[in-house]
Structure 1
Amino acid sequence: MTETIDATTTAALLDIGDVAARTGLAPSALRFYEQRGLIEPAGRNGLRRTYQPEVLDRLSLIACARQAGFGIAEISRFLMAGPGDTELRQRMAAKADELDVMIARLTRMRAALRHGATCPRERLVDCPEFMAAVKEA
């Protein structure tokens, strides 16, 4: 349940528009995260939601988890996980392994592109080093 906040308290709080501007998220995304229990408003300033400044850290964590490929339900569990949640921790370890594979592939792709950018051959497809790097990537 949200409460209306008086003017003396609002100085430390962030308006939903401020949070949106600082995070690059649309206000609708913030409301969605709120509906899913990922963030919680501090109250309202008039008709606008307000948040504690710590919500920015929570949203950074959510963004990181989303970029790693976790879904909203998994992130919700992630935010509430305790030391005994072995299933979630196994999922996190598996996701880290997936990222290792992706990083290795991207590293090979980067090497191929760097070689291609400096290759003296007229046509890159005639360069055996470039083609080998592309196949490896």
Structure 2
Amino acid sequence: MKLLDIAEVVEASGVPASTLRYYEEQGLVLSAARHGLRRQYLPGVVLQLGLINMGKAAGFSLAEIGAMFGGDGRPELPRDDLHRRADALQAQVRQLEALADALRHVADCPAPSHLECPKFQRLMRVSTEAARRRTKRNGGPKAPASSRT
């Protein structure tokens, strides 16, 4: 089986060499050999890096992603967790679509002042209520980052 040089893995995956080395330190990928000082990888590492990228894009932490790989490097995907994450992403999509619609309305609103626009006032109330629900769900208000010790 032909091993891939680190440069070939970088080219095929789009993952920088420094990130590839970091993933190796974290146990997410394994090099199969060395050619001089250059790491060599099995061809399957490119697919593994694709899974890592997808997991990161979906909001999984590297620790969560690492737990998805078995001892042999094959993914053992927790389907229930994936369903929950997909549901959360779908909810986020709906929120972002609503926000985009609100911004379009604000940009195109014919009212002399946005504060005089009934639809804008309703959008502000909805936004405030959503923020209250998020705060309550997340355990109450948090101090600004600059005031935390």
Alignment of 1:10-49 (within 5 A): 13=4, 15-20=5-10, 23-49=13-39
CA distance in 1, matches of 2:115, 2:51: 42
Alignment of 1:54-133 (within 5 A): 54-80=44-70, 82=76, 88-133=78-123
CA distance in 2, matches of 1:60, 1:133: 39
Report the residue type matching 1:70 in the other structure. Answer: F
Query: What percent identity do the matched residue pairs reach?
Result: 37
Report the residue type matching 1:118 in the other structure. Answer: D
Gaps of 5+ in 1: 1-8
Q: Which has the higher contact order (CA 8 A, sep 6+)?
A: 1
Moved more, 22-31 or 55-64: 22-31
Aligned length: 123
